[in-house]
């Protein structure tokens, strides 16, 4: 019974303090929503990719894939006629674009007769032909040139109906296609599979893609080991058999580092939110001090008090978590666009049809929400149990214990810091441990804050006294006296600002490094390639274009690059290697290329490459543990596996998956691949690259190629870069908002705490104006302290982000660039936040009648 | 009590709501179910293409062998049809059907860079009737006539194949051919040698299927092929010998308006004679008078049998529990040759020899008794669905 009375009182308290309740709810909702939202966005993108890959693979258990030369049709014939394998289906697949909209679509060429057991989305979907007969649509697909099937939704997007025509183009071809029929998705899986799919007969696809003798892959359903062995033995050199599932996983993991970093940042926002809750709960305990004392006097036990406070937190926690998960789902809807955009820019093309709210995400959101609310309320709740009937009337006692807490916190901070640094020293490449260490170090620093604040206020007192007189002496003392409030408020603000500093410095360092790298890398004048479509797409351009380009006035030299995914048998769990075969000395294309290490002289690199050596990027080397001592790479060529010596590792920030540079002549000897992927042009000094760009654009008008000058390419690179950091920047702002609310509530608690003191001062002759000044002095000092504390913490955070997290996540090292402006900005943000947050409490205090403030209830 | 009553009402209401919901969901589910899934089988069925541009069987064909064993792509449909009755040394009986169908989607090939392009589709049916075990094995396959996955050729030698199923000549004149077919759980490896030369059906190989000009096919048979080899059922191999029959037809849309199917019998009599009789049935239960039969004597002489000398009388029926179709089972066939009657009684060796692929029909081994004895094959189409337009 007693507990219900206590709960009822808690409920009343809740009712009365609407603003606090709202703040509590806000912090939980915001924190949980961020965690859930980022998760939903990342998970939806991942699931969409996995689903579309999986559904495109259908029931296949295995696939046979080749290098750039693809898989020969003769192998398929052999599987069917010699080995008698019926569950094999040939696939020709490539990205194409729609003529009017430029919309990227996957063209999938299939043999309908081989599909019956393979692809569920084909078996389940109904085809509406021009006359409504599915067989008829399929017959047209087989019999008539340039006929395709798309899903009803793709047809709607393109604004076509069965029988209508539309254009598709690649870098080599542009043709008009007739829609033979539309496919109605049958469930979510088929909807995802068909989201951006154009289905054609395999012959149509080969004609259009100009790959008449090559299959992209052969999908297989192989269930017994004997057949598997037979297939493996039948494989010609240059192709590989692999489980379909493992392929899906290695591909999906391409974007893992990116999403894990986002998730870590969202968790950081929740931690800041926890500080907020801590403040609010402390505030509410302070407000109810007398009430709690009275409850204790009439017989409530400490456990009941503890339970009632925790129950209050739990109720808020549950409500906030529930709202947070719901809000997170919607937030995910907003974030998913930005997330998929970057994933498509950097990794693979993905289109999210349905938002995924997995039970894991919900569980994670619920767990973080409840743990955060209970965890943050625990200390104030324990504090509340210390309130006795007698002590309720005094306030000092709380502060004395705080002093011991300050020492304890500093000691704990030391331990946590040591643990964090210890974790960074572990011989592991685990990103998870890296982020764990980051959190520990951040927490360790924050635990030091109250002690640092104590020290800082004592030393600042003479200075502020000199500057502001009596009020200047009172303000630091006021902060010290209420260390239990001010310490936490400053810590929360310092944490938030340090996150802002750390992330800003990290982004600035990265951007600076990329700028410098681009300056070195982009020495050619004109760049020709296809629209970017991620790592997994191969762009085929007719090499005969080289001759035409050479004839463009002002062009001195044309270099080509062939960019293809190639299998590396030694790294089956990693995605295929991005092999770039270049026709020109890389030192000529970018003379200031910087190497991590080189086994030959800088000017001998090209010679070594022409003799069969390769050079790789830093992140490539990191992911495959290639060191100056262990430097060879085996790649699957048309003639079977070949091992290449690595003579150098160079810095490159184009892709975190890394690339391998090979001499074009070496590449063409090993692969029967006629195509090139991009061109770079060098022009004479007296020619303007703009005029060359114009001329080349006219030349390749039909091929859907992108022709850019150095400046335009630079702009594009940075646009992609900035998009990748958009979410990071957005999360940074959210952290700032949470921190502002945190400091606001802390200051309110502080002013309430000092109500009697301030009342006494008013009674002693302090004017309302002086009271305002005092409040602003206090909050300003706190903001300044938080800002100053945040600088070293933020710089340390940046250092960790750059040296540990980015290396582990992306395999990149970059220069540590500290923009002085952003540091100053951070201190200002802290001070402005603190000052702004001081307005409302100051206004409330200034309206207090002295007599009422002093009165003891 | 009254409280309880209310609860019952609530319960009842709940049940009704649940029931209606299930019903609604069911209706929605059924109504959103795709009517015709994409798959190879649906591709060959409805003839979306008219017969324009294809050659028709109108004039007498100038036959030349082995050339005419090979494909005739100017015509829309063509088939190589092998049936036979085989026995082991201990007398265990097997029947088999091995057929490869060719069907053109369009009369002309277009120029294509892709080796996958073809205007031809191939379909194959392979069945084995294990008489002693009472089991009927069957499998259907499809392929495009491209990329060497399926096709028919006469040079260097006669060969027709689909995946790893094939018939090929062992010599230039195709006097001997071998069949290789391995399906799920059964297989045949047979060598077939011509005992008699090609027998032209109809009038000089032009077999009229309806009164209209062009509703005909070019048709010949190898009515007696001495056969030996192995039949494999499960893991077990059986050495067999016996007699096979090959039927070859090519044409373009042979059946007339109103024709629903045919009954066809290929009988090999122990006195050395072979007999083909058949009838094309119409919607109105009449039979097509233009379609007749053929008698091949022991020395290979052929004699056309007009429809009016043939009477086919069913002696029983069999209903398929798979398709629900009811087929005649057992016949009395009466043929009058030079006013001499020949009365034969036919009895299926196995009741269930129904082939269920993209087309459902009955094709099975039969025993002949009566005025002569022997074995043969019967083919009954159009009982499960009308067959016009398919071949």
CATH number at residue B307: 2.40.370.10
Mutate to test the interface with A, among B38, B107, B185 (most CBs of A within 10 A): B38
A73 touches chain B (CB under 8 A): yes
Model pTM?
Answer: 0.78
The pLDDT assigned to B36 comes to: 38
What ipTM was reported for this prediction?
0.82
Higher-confidence residue of B296 and A848: namely B296
Q: Has residue B74 been placed in a domain?
A: yes
- Alpha-carbon distance of A200 to A206, in angstroms, equals 10
Range of the domain at B183: 65-110+119-380
Residue-by-residue DSSP string for A168-228: EE-SS-EEEEEEEEEEE--SHHHHHHTTTEEEEEHHHHHHHHT-TTEESEEEE---SHHHH
3-state helix, strand, coil in chain B (%, to 5): 10, 50, 40
Q: Are B72 and B57 in contact (CB under 8 A)?
A: no
CA distances to A73, A657, B259 from A716, rounded to whole Å, are 39, 19, 69
Q: Has residue B342 been placed in a domain?
A: yes
Q: Which two tokens stand for residue A141?
A: 């697909």
| Beta pairing class for A104-110 and A197-201 | parallel
> Which residue of chain A is at minimal alpha-carbon distance from B36?
A126
Evaluate if residue B30 carries a pLDDT over 70.
no
- Alpha-carbon distance of B151 to B145, in angstroms, equals 5
Q: Which two tokens stand for residue A179?
A: 């829609």
**A832-843 per-residue burial string, b: 16 or more CB within 10 A, e: under 16:** ebbbebbeebbe
Q: Has residue B271 been placed in a domain?
A: yes
Spatial CB neighbours of A396, under 8 Å, sequence gap ≥ 6 = none
Q: Has residue B60 been placed in a domain?
A: no
Higher-confidence residue of A130 and B311: namely B311
For residue A207, list chain B residues with Cβ-Cβ distance below 8 A. 112-114, 117
The pLDDT assigned to A826 comes to: 84
Asked if B146's CB is within 8 angstroms of A145's CB, the reply is no
Average per-residue pLDDT in chain B?
Answer: 87
Return the percentage of chain B with pLDDT > 70, whole number.
86
A22 touches chain B (CB under 8 A): no
Q: Has residue B34 been placed in a domain?
A: no
**Which residues of chain A fall below pLDDT 70?**
1-6, 9-17, 19, 120-136, 189, 391-403, 532-536, 749, 751-753, 848-857
For chain B, the straight-line distance linking the first and the last C-alpha, in angstroms and rounded, comes to 74
Out of B50-54, B111-115, B161-165, pick the least confident. B50-54
Q: Which two tokens stand for residue A626?
A: 């290639």
To the nearest whole Å, the CA of A142 is away from the closest chain B CA by: 8
Asked if A84's CB is within 8 angstroms of B182's CB, the reply is yes
Evaluate if residue B273 carries a pLDDT over 70.
yes
Count interface pairs A-B at CB distance under 8 A.
123
Q: Are A41 and A332 in contact (CB under 8 A)?
A: yes
The pLDDT assigned to A522 comes to: 74
Q: How confident is the model at residue B40 (pLDDT cuts 50, 70, 90)?
A: very low
For residue A122, list chain B residues with Cβ-Cβ distance below 8 A. 37-39
Evaluate if residue B47 carries a pLDDT over 50.
no
The pLDDT assigned to A2 comes to: 53
The pLDDT assigned to B6 comes to: 43
Mutate to test the interface with B, among A73, A113, A133 (most CBs of B within 10 A): A113
Spatial CB neighbours of B243, under 8 Å, sequence gap ≥ 6 = B84, B85, B224, B225, B226, B227, B268, B375
Residue-by-residue DSSP string for A88-102: EEEEEEEEEEETTT-
Higher-confidence residue of B117 and A137: namely B117
To the nearest whole Å, the CA of B42 is away from the closest chain A CA by: 5
Evaluate if residue B42 carries a pLDDT over 80.
no
Q: Please count the structural domains in chain B.
A: 1
A719 touches chain B (CB under 8 A): no
CB count within 10 Å of CB B169 equals 20
The pLDDT assigned to B50 comes to: 66
Residue B368, H or E segment: strand B360-370
Evaluate if residue B357 carries a pLDDT over 60.
yes
Q: Has residue B334 been placed in a domain?
A: yes
Domain boundaries, chain A: 1-59+253-394, 70-237, 531-704
The pLDDT tens digits for B175-221 are 999 999 999 999 999 999 999 999 999 989 999 888 888 888 999 99
Q: Are B333 and B277 in contact (CB under 8 A)?
A: yes
For residue B106, list chain A residues with Cβ-Cβ distance below 8 A. 143-144
The pLDDT assigned to B168 comes to: 96
Q: Has residue B104 been placed in a domain?
A: yes
């Amino acid at each position: 019974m007693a507990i219900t009375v206590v709960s009822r009182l808690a409920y009343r308290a809740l009712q009365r303090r609407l603003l606090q309740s709202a703040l509590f709810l806000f912090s939980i909702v915001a924190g949980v929503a961020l965690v859930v939202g980022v998760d939903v966005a990342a998970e939806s993108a991942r699931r969409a990719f996995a689903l579309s890959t999986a559904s495109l693979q259908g029931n296949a258990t295995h696939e046979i894939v080749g290098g750039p030369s693809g898989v020969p049709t003769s192998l398929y014939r052999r599987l069917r006629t010699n080995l008698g394998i019926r569950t094999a289906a040939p696939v020709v697949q490539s990205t194409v674009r729609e003529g009017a909209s430029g919309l990227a679509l996957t063209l999938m060429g299939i043999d309908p007769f081989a599909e019956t057991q393979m692809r569920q989305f084909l078996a389940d979907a109904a085809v509406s032909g021009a006359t409504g007969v599915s067989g008829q649509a399929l017959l047209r697909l087989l019999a008539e040139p340039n006929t395709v099937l798309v899903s009803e939704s793709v047809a709607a997007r393109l604004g076509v109906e069965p029988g209508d025509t539309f254009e598709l183009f690649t870098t080599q071809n542009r043709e008009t296609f007739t829609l033979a029929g539309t496919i109605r998705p049958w469930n979510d899986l088929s909807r995802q599979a068909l989201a951006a799919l154009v289905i054609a007969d395999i012959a149509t696809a080969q004609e259009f893609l100009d790959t008449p003798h090559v299959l992209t892959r052969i999908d297989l359903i192989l269930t017994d080991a004997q057949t598997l062995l037979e297939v493996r033995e039948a494989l010609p050199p240059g192709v590989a058999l692999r489980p379909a599932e493992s392929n899906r996983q290695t591909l999906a993991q391409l974007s893992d580092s990116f999403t894990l970093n986002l998730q870590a940042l969202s968790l950081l926002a929740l931690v800041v939110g926890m500080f907020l809750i801590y403040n609010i709960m402390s505030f509410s305990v302070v407000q109810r001090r007398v009430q709690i004392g009275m409850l204790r006097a009439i017989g409530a036990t400490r456990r009941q008090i503890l339970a009632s406070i925790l129950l209050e937190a739990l109720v808020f926690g549950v409500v906030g978590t529930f709202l947070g998960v719901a809000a997170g789902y919607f937030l995910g809807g907003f974030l998913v666009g930005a997330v998929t955009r970057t994933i498509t820019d950097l990794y693979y093309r993905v289109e999210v049809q349905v938002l995924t709210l997995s039970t894991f995400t919900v569980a994670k959101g619920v767990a973080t929400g409840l743990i955060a609310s209970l965890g943050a309320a625990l200390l104030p709740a324990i504090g509340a149990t210390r309130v006795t009937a007698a002590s309720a009337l005094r306030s000092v006692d709380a502060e004395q214990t705080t002093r011991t807490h300050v020492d304890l916190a500093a000691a704990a901070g030391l331990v946590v810091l040591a643990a964090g640094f210890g974790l960074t020293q572990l011989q592991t490449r685990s990103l998870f441990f890296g982020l764990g260490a980051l959190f520990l170090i951040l927490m360790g620093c924050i635990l030091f804050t109250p002690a640092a604040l104590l020290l800082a206020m004592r030393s600042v007192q003479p200075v502020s006294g000199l500057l502001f007189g009596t009020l200047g002496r009172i303000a630091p003392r006021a902060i010290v006296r209420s260390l239990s409030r001010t310490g936490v408020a400053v810590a929360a603000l310092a944490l938030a600002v340090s996150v802002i500093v750390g992330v800003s410095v990290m982004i600035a360092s990265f951007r600076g490094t990329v700028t410098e790298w681009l300056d070195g890398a982009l020495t050619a004048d004109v760049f020709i390639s296809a629209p970017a479509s991620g790592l997994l797409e191969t762009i085929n351009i007719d090499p005969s274009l080289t001759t035409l380009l050479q004839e463009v006035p002002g062009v001195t030299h044309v270099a080509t690059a062939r960019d293809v995914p190639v299998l590396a048998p030694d790294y089956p769990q990693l995605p295929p290697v991005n092999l770039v075969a270049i026709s020109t000395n890389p030192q000529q294309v970018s003379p200031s290329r910087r190497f991590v290490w080189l086994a030959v002289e800088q000017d001998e690199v090209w010679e070594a490459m022409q003799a069969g050596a390769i050079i790789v990027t830093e992140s490539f080397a990191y992911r495959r543990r290639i060191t100056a001592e262990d430097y060879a790479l085996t790649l699957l060529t048309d003639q079977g596996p070949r091992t290449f010596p690595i003579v150098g590792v160079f810095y490159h920030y184009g892709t975190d998956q890394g690339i391998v540079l090979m001499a074009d002549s070496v590449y063409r000897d090993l692969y029967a691949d006629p195509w090139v992927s991009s061109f770079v042009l060098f022009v004479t000094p007296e020619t303007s690259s703009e005029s060359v760009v114009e001329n080349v654009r006219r030349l390749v008008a039909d091929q859907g190629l992108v022709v850019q000058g150095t400046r335009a390419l630079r702009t594009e690179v940075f646009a992609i870069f900035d998009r990748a950091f958009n979410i990071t920047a957005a999360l940074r702002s959210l952290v700032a908002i949470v921190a502002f609310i945190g400091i606001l509530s802390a200051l309110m608690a502080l002013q309430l705490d000092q109500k009697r003191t301030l009342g006494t001062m008013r009674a002693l002759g302090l004017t309302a104006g002086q009271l305002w000044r005092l409040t602003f002095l206090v909050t300003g000092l706190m903001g300044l302290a938080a800002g100053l504390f945040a600088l070293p913490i933020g710089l340390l955070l940046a250092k960790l982000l750059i040296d540990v997290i980015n290396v582990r996540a992306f395999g990149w090292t970059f220069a540590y660039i500290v923009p002085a402006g952003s540091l100053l900005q951070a201190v200002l943000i802290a001070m402005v936040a603190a000052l702004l947050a001081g307005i409302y409490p100051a206004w409330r205090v200034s309206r207090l009648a002295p007599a009422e403030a002093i009165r003891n209830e | 009590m009254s409280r309880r009553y209310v609860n019952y009402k609530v319960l009842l209401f709940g049940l009704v709501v649940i029931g209606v919901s299930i019903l609604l969901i069911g209706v929605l589910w059924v109504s959103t179910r795709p009517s015709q899934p994409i798959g190879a089988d649906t591709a060959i069925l409805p003839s979306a293409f008219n017969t324009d541009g294809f050659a028709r069987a109108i004039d007498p064909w100038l036959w030349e062998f082995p050339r005419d064993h090979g494909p005739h792509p100017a015509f829309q449909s063509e088939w190589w049809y092998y049936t036979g009755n085989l026995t082991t040394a201990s007398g265990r009986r097997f029947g088999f059907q091995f057929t490869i169908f060719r069907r053109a989607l369009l009369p002309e090939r277009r120029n294509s860079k892709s080796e996958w392009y073809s205007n031809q589709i191939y379909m194959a049916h392979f069945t084995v009737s294990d008489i002693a075990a009472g089991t009927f094995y069957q499998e259907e396959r499809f392929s495009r006539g491209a990329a060497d996955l399926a096709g028919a050729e006469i040079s260097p030698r006669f060969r027709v194949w689909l995946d790893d199923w094939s018939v090929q000549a062992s010599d230039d004149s195709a006097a001997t051919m071998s069949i290789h077919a391995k399906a799920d759980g059964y297989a045949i490896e047979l060598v077939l040698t011509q005992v008699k030369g090609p027998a032209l059906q109809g009038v000089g190989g032009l077999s009229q299927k309806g009164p209209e000009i062009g509703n005909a096919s070019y048709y010949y048979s190898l009515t007696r092929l001495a056969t030996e080899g192995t039949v494999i059922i499960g893991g077990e191999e059986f050495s067999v010998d016996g007699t096979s029959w090959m039927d070859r037809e090519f044409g373009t849309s042979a059946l007339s308006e109103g024709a629903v199917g045919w009954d066809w019998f290929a009988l090999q009599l122990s006195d050395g004679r072979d007999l083909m009789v058949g009838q094309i049935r119409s919607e109105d239960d009449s039979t097509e008078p233009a379609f007749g039969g053929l008698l091949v004597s022991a020395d290979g002489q052929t004699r056309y049998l007009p429809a009016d000398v043939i009477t086919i009388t069913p002696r029983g029926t069999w209903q398929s529990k798979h398709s629900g179709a009811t087929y005649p089972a057992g016949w009395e066939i009466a043929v009058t040759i030079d006013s001499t009657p020949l009365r034969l009684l036919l009895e299926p060796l196995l009741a269930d020899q129904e082939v269920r692929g993209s087309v459902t029909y009955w094709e099975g081994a039969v025993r002949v008794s009566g005025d002569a004895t022997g074995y043969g094959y019967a083919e009954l189409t159009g009982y499960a669905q009308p067959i016009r337009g398919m071949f």
